[in-house]
Amino acid sequence: MTTWLVTRHPGAVEWFAEQGFKVDRQIAHLDPAEIEPGDVVIGTLPVNLAAEVCARGGRFFNLSVDMPPQARGRELSADDLKRYGARIEEYQLQALPTRHPQ
């Protein structure tokens, strides 16, 4: 089992370290083909990639942050993440067959 941290943000890497998470691989971009059953993926991913992690037998944990609009689009520090309530939330996602949304 491998624990992956997917982020390109230094503040997020620092926040994870401060929380005591054990990470085996920290990467900026995830190739879901590398995920093995039982792997843990932590980060903020597009929903289709998170669903692929789950389909491959991995567990997906989102880095959720209650960020105000004025904080968007700028690099956040570990302190910013704490201030905005950063937390890890596990999600189980599944892609469904394509159908018209109506």
How much is the pLDDT for 99? 84
What is the rounded CA–CA span in Å between residue 27 and residue 75?
A: 17
How much is the pLDDT for 62? 97
Burial readout 9-23 (b: 16 or more C-beta within 10 A, e: otherwise): bebbeebbeeeeeee
In tens digits, the chain (102 residues) has pLDDT values of 999 999 999 999 999 999 998 999 999 999 999 999 999 999 999 999 999 999 999 999 999 999 999 888 889 999 999 999 999 999 999 998 888 877
How much is the pLDDT for 33? 96
How much is the pLDDT for 56? 97
What is the rounded CA–CA span in Å between residue 63 and residue 65?
A: 7
Q: Is the dihedral of CA 55, 31, 21, 88 positive or negative?
A: negative
The count of residues in the chain is: 102
